[in-house]
Amino acid sequence: MIATVVSMLGVVLFGGAFLCAVGVIAASVVPQWQRIARLASGQVETAFSPLSELASAERRIAVRRWASAPVPAGVRRLRAVA
């Protein structure tokens, strides 16, 4: 009787742990399944270079700030003379 209860407890405990592990693996794989399939089929991803993206974004921001800055009066006067 006790052996049956212990074995049932073991089945329930390890079965629950197994289901939890399967759930965690599925939750981590499902959002990336298309990417995993592409990589498995041999398609190489393009390299992600955050520093070059950041540098070009910084240049765009600097140009916009420079273009929107008011022109000093001295420069405006020199442009009018020219």
For 17-44, the pLDDT digits (tens) are 999 999 999 999 999 999 999 999 999 8
Contact residues for 41 (Cβ-Cβ < 8 A; gap 6+) = none
Q: What is the pLDDT of residue 14?
A: 95
pTM: 0.47
C-alpha–C-alpha distance, residues 28 and 20, integer Å: 12
pLDDT at 70 over 90: no
How many folded domains does the chain comprise? Answer: 1
- Give, in order, the Cα–Cα distances in Å from 80 to each of 19, 21, 36, 67, 72: 78, 75, 62, 19, 12
At residue 23, what is the residue type?
G
Contact residues for 29 (Cβ-Cβ < 8 A; gap 6+) = 36
Domain around 15: 2-81
